[in-house]
């Protein structure tokens, strides 16, 4: 399995000649090195409805003629844009053929802010995903605060790689993210959702060092960087 980090919370999981991309946000991210038109994928997964997680879902899904997987409400919104969708909800699992994606809970908010209309569209509950393929389990926590059931998730799943937000302000900060990493019990932890905006500037290398002090392997990925994960 190959995993590509596209910056912010955007992660692409490649298995064989298939791939899925989670929370594509490229045009709005000054740190991103990849453009939406460069993405080739077989499914788009969305953790929640905030613009820094869904901005490029529409162009990528249309260009690749692939479904958008999201909560029922967010999937409905995306279907109104002419996209193929798979609506699901927390606790459910979608079988994409080349991978399975289970939606887990996240403690956050979820809505689409329409500035011109001064209106917010409800996006359903926020979530994260546990993706399994090739005998490998990858957790994408979505945007979330720390919550105790992370330990239950870690106890029930053997997680190989966990992508955990640590930017603070809108999600967990580094201290809570270290605790989350302990509870998830992943073999490798990669920090996400930091540095994109001034409010979430963090020292990712310092975060990894704090993980290592707890006996947890961490790795900082730069936007566009790829890593290989073996079962």
DSSP letter for each residue of 139-176: EE--S----THHHHHHHHS--SEEEEE---SSS--HHH
Inter-residue contact 185 to 137 (CB < 8 Å): no
Q: Containing domain of residue 8, as a range?
A: 2-220
Residue 228 lies in a domain: no
* Gyration radius from the chain CA atoms: 16
Q: How many Å apart are CA 181 and CA 186, to the nearest integer? A: 7
The CATH number that applies at residue 139 is 3.60.15.10
**Domain count for the chain:** 1
Residue 227 lies in a domain: no
Q: For each of the chain's 231 residues, which pLDDT tens digit applies?
A: 999 999 999 999 999 999 999 999 999 999 999 999 999 999 999 999 999 999 999 999 999 999 999 999 999 999 999 999 999 999 999 999 999 999 999 999 999 999 999 999 999 999 999 999 999 999 999 999 999 999 999 999 999 999 999 999 999 999 999 999 999 999 999 999 999 999 999 999 999 999 999 999 999 999 999 999 998
Residue 226 lies in a domain: no
């Amino acid at each position: 399995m190959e995993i590509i980090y596209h910056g912010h919370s955007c992660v692409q999981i490649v298995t064989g000649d298939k791939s899925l991309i989670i929370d594509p946000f490229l045009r709005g991210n000054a740190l991103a090195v990849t453009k939406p038109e460069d993405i080739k994928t077989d499914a788009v997964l969305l953790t929640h409805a905030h613009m820094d997680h869904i901005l490029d879902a529409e162009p990528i899904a249309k260009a690749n003629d692939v479904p958008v997987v999201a909560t029922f409400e967010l999937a409905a919104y995306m279907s109104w844009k002419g996209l193929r969708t798979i609506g699901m909800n927390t606790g459910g699992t979608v079988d994409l053929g080349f991978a399975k994606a289970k939606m887990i809970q996240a403690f956050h908010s979820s809505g689409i802010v329409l500035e011109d209309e001064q209106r917010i569209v409800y996006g359903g509950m926020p979530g994260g995903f546990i993706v399994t393929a090739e005998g490998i389990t990858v957790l994408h926590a979505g945007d979330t605060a720390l919550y105790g059931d992370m330990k239950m998730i870690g106890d029930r799943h053997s997680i190989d790689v966990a992508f955990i937000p640590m930017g603070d302000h809108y999600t967990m900060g580094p201290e809570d993210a270290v605790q989350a990493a302990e509870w998830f019990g992943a073999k490798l932890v990669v920090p996400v959702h930091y540095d994109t905006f001034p409010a979430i500037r963090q020292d990712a290398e310092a975060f990894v060092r704090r993980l290592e002090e707890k006996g947890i392997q961490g790795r900082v990925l730069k936007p566009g960087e790829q890593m290989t994960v073996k079962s």
